[in-house]
Amino acid sequence: MADQDLIIRLDNRLDQLVNIDMGERGVEHLYKAARALQGGSLVGAAADALMAVPEGGTVILTTGSVSRAWITPDLGENDGPSGAAAIARALVMARNATCVMLCEDTLLDAIRNTCQAAGLFPVTLEQAAIAREDKSLATIVMLPYATDDEGGKAQALQMLDEIKPDLLFSTERVGRNEHGVYHSMRGIDYGMGRARVDFLFDEALERGIPVVAVGDGGNEIGMGKVASHVKDFVPYGDQCQCGCGGGIGAVTGCDVLVTAACSNWGCTAIAAAMAARTGNAKLLHTPDREALLLDTMVANGLINSTHGVVDDSVDGFPRDSHLGVAELCRTIVSRAL
Ligand SMILES: [Zn+2]
């Protein structure tokens, strides 16, 4: 097992790599703010939180952004699903965790297929309990979440009571602003058909259940933690274009925030930090698996939201940049494996 000083150095390198602001979104400011608040590597803190999930514990994850909500609720974006799938896989491998993935009913098939390509077979909660007992199958439980405010609040109470998660994880999942509006990075209201999962995260924080969140823009669950910095440094952070009177920043906070230039990169780095902590290379999100997931997301109609087209660029970054980030994360932690 690697010594603690080495782990800290590797964590900091992973942080630096995924926070190079290649998309010019102002993420470097959010990164500095989050580091100052959390007092160390963001990626490292997330990996510590995930590794602290009890063996055989339960984690609720969410991702999925209805990308062109004003046209159709059936279209999701390709930043989010592959990262969430990589984290769920690492949690199953490292903690024998039961992972429950929440998204809109309309995006369920695409995200399920992405998780399956990451090695997780979709099952019911009851079936997942059997698999956890005998460790015979790597699973994922996919559940739809309500797309109206009242339904979202009601489901939050019911789900936390019934599933009793040990941790909640969100990546690239838009949360409402102080006026209850869900904004795109261009400051437009695109809340129609969108799951109100942020209410679940608010309730979890209220109950003291650990929450880890990844985001790249300021409008995602978790960014409430650096709200003033979103207002100051992110386009439309102060004033949206929809006329609601607020900015795009999400009000929902988190315990551990991970910023990244692309949310999927944040997840790739967290998986690498988990691998470093355990010395287990199987936890890595490898370039080969990233390639498979990119292809799967294209086959399932998930969109490169920056260019408005279904292809294997994510957030406008070309395919090779995602394989490259996965390779560099692996290289950074290789001394601990
Ligand atoms: Zn607005």
What's residue 235's pLDDT? 93
User: Side-chain half-sphere of 330: how many Cα atoms within 13 Å?
Assistant: 16
User: Residues 13, 18, 22, 28: what is their CA dihedral angle, to the nearest 10 degrees?
Assistant: -80
Statement: residue 8 has pLDDT above 80: yes
Whether residue 2 is predicted with pLDDT greater than 80 in this model: the reply is no
Q: Determine the distance separating the centroid of ligand 1 and the alpha carbon of 224, expressed in angstroms.
A: 16
Q: Which pLDDT does position 158 carry in this prediction?
A: 98
pLDDT more than 70, % of the chain = 100
123-157 pLDDT, tens digit each: 999 999 999 999 999 999 999 999 999 999 999 99
Q: What CATH code is carried by the domain that includes residue 260? A: 3.90.1640.20
How far away, in angstroms, is 318 Cα from ligand 1 center? Answer: 30
Per the structure, the count of domains in the chain is: 1
Which of 262, 265, 219, 214 lies closest to 238, judged by CA?
A: 219
DSSP β-ladder status, 121-122 and 139-144: parallel
Q: What's the chain's average pLDDT?
A: 97
Calculate how far, in angstroms, residue 246's C-alpha sits from the geometric centre of ligand 1: 5
Task: Please determine, for residue 1, whether its predicted confidence score (pLDDT) is greater than 70.
Answer: no
Under 8 Å between Cβ of 103 and 63: yes
The CA 219 to ligand 1 mean position distance, Å, reads 11
pLDDT band at 25 (very low <50, low <70, confident <90, very high): confident
pLDDT of residue 26: 87
Instruction: Report CA(190)–ligand 1 centroid distance (Å).
Output: 9
Residues 276-288 pLDDT 10s: 999 999 999 999 9
Instruction: Note down the domain range covering 46.
Output: 4-336
Q: Ligand 1 centre from 179 Cα, in Å?
A: 8
What is the rounded end-to-end Cα distance, in angstroms, of the chain? 8
For Cα atoms 54, 284, 53, give the angle at the middle one, nearest 5 degrees: 10
Please check the confidence at residue 301 and state whether its pLDDT lies above 80. yes
Residue 99: the pLDDT is: 98
Instruction: Taking residues 248-266, report their average pLDDT.
Output: 98
Mean pLDDT of 47-64: 98
pLDDT digits (tens, 9 = 90+) for 181-232: 999 999 999 999 999 999 999 999 999 999 999 999 999 999 999 999 999 9
Given phi > 0 = left and psi -120 to 50 = alpha, else beta, which region is 119? left
Task: Tell me: pLDDT of 46 over 70.
Answer: yes
Other beta carbons within 10 angstroms of residue 71's beta carbon come to 11
pLDDT tens digits for 70-123?
A: 999 999 999 999 999 999 999 999 999 999 999 999 999 999 999 999 999 999
> Distance from the CA of 188 to the center of ligand 1, in angstroms?
6
Residues with CB under 5 A from ligand 1 (ion): 181, 240, 242, 244
Task: Look at 62-71, 102-111, 167-176 and tell me which has the smallest mean pLDDT.
Answer: 62-71
Over its C-alpha atoms, the chain yields an Rg (Å, rounded) of 18
pLDDT tens per residue, range 36-45:
999 999 999 9
Distance from Cα 243 to the centre of ligand 1, integer Å:
5
How many angstroms separate the alpha carbon of residue 313 from the centre of ligand 1? 28
> b/e per residue, 4-19, with b = 16+ CB within 10 A?
eeebeebbbbbbebbb
